[in-house]
Structure 1
Amino acid sequence: MIEFRITDFDCLSVDQSGERRFVVFTERPIELGRCCFFDAHVVLSETKVSYPCVVYTPRPNGKFDPPHFHMRAKKSFCLDELMNVGDLLRVESEQRP
């Protein structure tokens, strides 16, 4: 398991399958591999409640990009309202592409 502290995030959109998509920025570079999908959990720092999600990197972080990855989670979790800077993201296991 790899753990990242969230330093910022942007909520992008809701896709056709009803999942909300995010760009999540972290304190250190991420080496997840291009087009690999990983099971993960967002752990809210205030309540310690965790929510399942999937993280991925559609392209490698560029030389001048801040460390970040993309994330998707069920819209019903309302992570766009609950997630905060300082929350943790625990990346667990690789999924199929």
Structure 2
Amino acid sequence: MDIRSSLASLGYSHARNVAAPDPEASSSSYLASAVENFQDTVRGGEEAAKGAMLGTVDPHALVEALANTELAVETAVAVRNKVVEAYQQILQMPV
């Protein structure tokens, strides 16, 4: 058996065992989880940058951490823009 196919089957079995999101879960807990994940991502980028300045982190890990941080910030900005757009549309509604 090829190593790639065994890794793929392992990943597939892991993905099947991951619980699906609960439709009954509150949106506030989902939002809190998303904010916590965002904070962890940004904190990881900061730690990688500090480690790179001290010489304890290799450049590849730094680039990867900064790319993840950039993606998280771009996603947060896109969500913020959609919320502001929705708020502006609500303000324009006739009463």
1 or 2, which has the higher helix percentage? 2
Indicate the TM-score class for this superposition, using the shorter chain for normalisation. under 0.3
Which is bigger in relative contact order (C-alpha 8 A, separation at least 6)?
Answer: 1
User: Could you state the TM-score of these two structures normalised by the residue count of structure 1?
Assistant: 0.18
User: Could you state the TM-score of these two structures normalised by the residue count of structure 2?
Assistant: 0.18
1 or 2, which has the higher strand percentage? 1
